């Protein structure tokens, strides 16, 4: 079987240039052999983007693709800016809200005892369960709401991330 170098050596210059125009669709071995042939013939290699790659095909979403581990976040539409800081703030806000609800609820049932430790512990555990295997999905969704103006985004996007995280948590609880 002929190697790529042997095949390219038998081509005319215009055929080589046509191949180089579509270099992103070549396998790495073929790309390297084509570049070597260009250099062997003393043709200009600067006009070709040798590091170009064909865009990855968009995966088809299956019905069982759920969560970060399944790569769901890779298929979600994203905004222009990252929302990691906003999701971290939403995570802290979620712990605080659950801790407050648990503390007030237990204080109403058993007055006179401080339930802050139980509230913080239960808030932490429940928040980890809500965000587990969904962190990147929440970040991808929240990134659509980022404006690029940090002060404005810091006011609104953590609440969007918090609402979406609770929505995803409820769906997880229902088994979807």
CA nearest to 99, candidates 91, 88, 111, 87: 91
State how far the Cα of 135 lies from the Cα of 87, in Å rounded to an integer: 8
At 94-127, the pLDDT tens digits run 999 999 999 999 999 998 888 999 999 999 999 9
- 19-45 tens-digit pLDDT: 777 777 777 777 788 888 888 887 776
Question: What CA–CA distance (Å, rounded) separates 88 from 115?
Answer: 25
94 CB burial (10 A radius; 0-12, 13-18, 19+): buried
Distance, CA of 36 to CA of 8 (rounded, Å): 9
11 neighbors 4 (Cβ within 8 angstroms): no
- Average pLDDT of the residues in 154-162: 92
SS3 of residue 11 by DSSP: coil
């Amino acid at each position: 079987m002929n190697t790529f170098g042997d095949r390219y050596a038998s081509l005319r210059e215009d055929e080589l240039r046509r191949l180089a125009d579509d270099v992103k669709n070549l396998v790495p071995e073929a790309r390297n052999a084509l570049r070597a042939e260009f250099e062997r013939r003393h043709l200009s290699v600067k006009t070709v983007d040798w590091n170009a790659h064909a865009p990855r095909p968009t995966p088809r979403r299956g019905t069982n693709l759920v969560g970060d581990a399944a790569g769901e976040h890779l298929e979600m539409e994203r905004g222009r800016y990252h929302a990691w800081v906003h999701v971290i703030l939403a995570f802290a806000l979620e712990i605080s809200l659950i801790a407050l609800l648990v503390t007030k609820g237990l204080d109403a049932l058993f007055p006179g005892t401080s339930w802050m430790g139980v509230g913080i512990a239960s808030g932490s555990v429940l928040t980890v369960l809500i965000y587990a295997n969904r962190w990147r999905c929440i970040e991808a969704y929240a990134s659509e709401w980022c404006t690029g103006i940090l002060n404005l985004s810091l006011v609104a996007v953590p609440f969007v991330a918090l609402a979406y995280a609770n929505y995803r948590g409820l769906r997880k609880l229902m088994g979807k």
